[in-house]
């Protein structure tokens, strides 16, 4: 499944990049393929159980980094036949060439 998470530490000021870097560090430690964008981070996991584990680690990491409150927007694309981030991007790029 493909997941997009926007993690927003609340009450830490205007700049969030240091906190987002911590989120990326969690994904790297977990060997999760990810794609960072200006409004969120997309990554691939094999199950909802694994997603919950990752989100728990992200949440704990943000609290440890000094966030008093964390707000999340999460989008999930779960397909019976599967699908990868790279395939979705390639499909759109191919259509742009036409």
C-alpha of 37 from chain center: 9
Compute φ and ψ for 53, nearest 5 degrees.
Answer: -60, -45
Q: What is the Cα–Cα distance from 2 to 51, expressed in whole angstroms?
A: 10
Tally of domains within the chain: 1
Q: The domain that contains 22 carries what CATH number? A: 3.30.70.930
Could you tell me if 18 and 65 are in contact, meaning their C-beta atoms sit under 8 angstroms apart?
yes
pTM, entire model: 0.87
Q: Which domain holds residue 91?
A: 2-97
- Transcribe 45-78 into DSSP letters: -S-HHHHHHHHHHHHHHHHHTT-SEEEEEEEEE-
Which tens digits make up the pLDDT trace of 47-80?
999 999 999 999 999 999 999 999 999 999 998 8
């Amino acid at each position: 499944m493909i997941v997009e998470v926007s993690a927003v530490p609340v009450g830490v000021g205007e700049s969030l990049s240091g906190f987002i870097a911590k989120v990326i560090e969690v994904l790297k430690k977990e060997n999760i393929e990810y794609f960072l964008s200006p409004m969120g981070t997309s990554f691939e996991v094999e199950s909802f159980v694994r997603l919950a584990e990752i989100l728990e680690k992200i949440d704990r990491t943000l609290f440890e980094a000094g966030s008093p409150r964390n707000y999340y927007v999460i989008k999930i694309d779960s397909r019976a036949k599967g699908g990868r981030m790279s395939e979705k991007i390639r499909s759109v790029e191919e259509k742009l060439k036409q």
